[in-house]
Amino acid sequence: MEKIYNLSIVLSFLGLWLNSSIPKNYEIALGFILIFSFGILHGSNDILLIENISNKKTHYPILKIVVIYVISVFTAVCIFYFMPLIALILFIFSSAFHFGEQHWEHKISNNLKSFNKLYYFFYGLFVLMLLFVFNSQEVIDVIKSIANYTLTKDFIVYSFIITAAILILLSINLIYKSETFKSIYLKELFYLLVFSVVFKVSTLIWGFTMYFIFWHSIPSLFEQITFIYGSFKKEHVIRYTKKAFPYWLISLLGLAIVVFIFKNQQSLYAILFSFIAALTFPHSIVINKMFLHKNNF
């Protein structure tokens, strides 16, 4: 995993170079390409993960997968359409826990299970708030377009300060309780410094893309492939990709259907957020089950 994070650092600074070298429209287009390729790919093999967790190699007909996925997408879209603000809050909170769990699950002692979950949440929330506070006007515009609610910059700043304060207190507690955390917290502070530079220099979409792909999706792919096949090798990456490819295509088909139906009623941001939420909610549950299963064996 250490090599993966070193790669993430290199890719982050490559992303910063691209940010200063290409027009904003191209940057946004590249961000969406990465999100809908690597980003969706890392969440496309949930069925295979479930089979490995349950040890029941049940055959899932492709038609059944399509129906379940389409229902999931349209359920999320409906929630965003009828209760957009609530849906957005739930999406941010679930994403915060999911991001934090992915980053910290293998780094903190399992003897602090309840505390760990709290730490996962506030770490992930801090990363998101870090992104938001450096791109507050874009965040305000996005929330306005999705939920028709006007957020203030002061609210974003105060939320960031409160989240940071809680994370600092939790981290101090971990320094005394976890020898593992004590040995890596300076490195983790460096990672947060990298995030800060990335988010400060980049736009909202490009900053989110770099974190989501380089720091979340790629490490998650490493964890999933290792869990399913026992190790991270080229042949295992190819097998994983082949398994995920049909579900990835279904995901893109679902997005195309949603965009076609709601193109005249909602902004592009609203459609994309509702689509990503449709993948995030079930995927975060599956990944949590994967980590629980791994820790029990």
Are the beta carbons of 88 and 146 closer than 8 angstroms?
Answer: yes
| Residue 3: burial class (beta carbons within 10 Å; 0-12, 13-18, 19+) | exposed
List the one residue out of 159, 174, 40 whose CA is nearest residue 96: 159
Residue-number span of the structural domain to which 112 is assigned: 2-295
Indicate the helix (H) or strand (E) that contains 260: helix 234-262
Beta carbons within 10 angstroms of residue 176's beta carbon: 9
Q: What is the pLDDT along the chain (297 residues), one digit of tens a residue?
A: 778 888 899 999 899 888 888 887 788 888 888 888 888 877 777 766 776 666 544 455 555 555 665 676 677 667 777 888 888 888 889 889 999 999 998 887 666 678 889 999 999 999 999 999 999 999 998 888 778 888 999 999 999 999 999 999 999 998 888 888 888 999 999 999 999 999 999 988 899 999 999 999 898 888 888 888 888 888 998 988 888 888 788 777 777 776 676 665 556 666 666 667 667 777 777 787 788 777 665
Are the beta carbons of 66 and 248 closer than 8 angstroms?
Answer: no
List the one residue out of 272, 277, 266, 292 whose CA is nearest residue 82: 266
Q: What is the pTM of this model?
A: 0.87
What 8-state DSSP symbol labels residue 149?
-
How many structural domains compose the chain? 1
Quote the CA–CA distance of 270 and 268 in Å, as a whole number: 5
Quote the CA–CA distance of 280 and 286 in Å, as a whole number: 10
For the record, the structure tokens of 168 come out as 């600092």
Helix (H, G, I), strand (E, B) or coil at 64: helix
Long-range own/partner contacts, residues 162-169 (CB < 8 A, 24 or more apart): 163/122, 163/125, 163/126, 163/129, 164/126, 164/129, 166/122, 167/122, 167/123, 167/126
CA 277 to chain centre: 10
Quote the CA–CA distance of 7 and 214 in Å, as a whole number: 8
Beta carbons within 10 angstroms of residue 234's beta carbon: 7
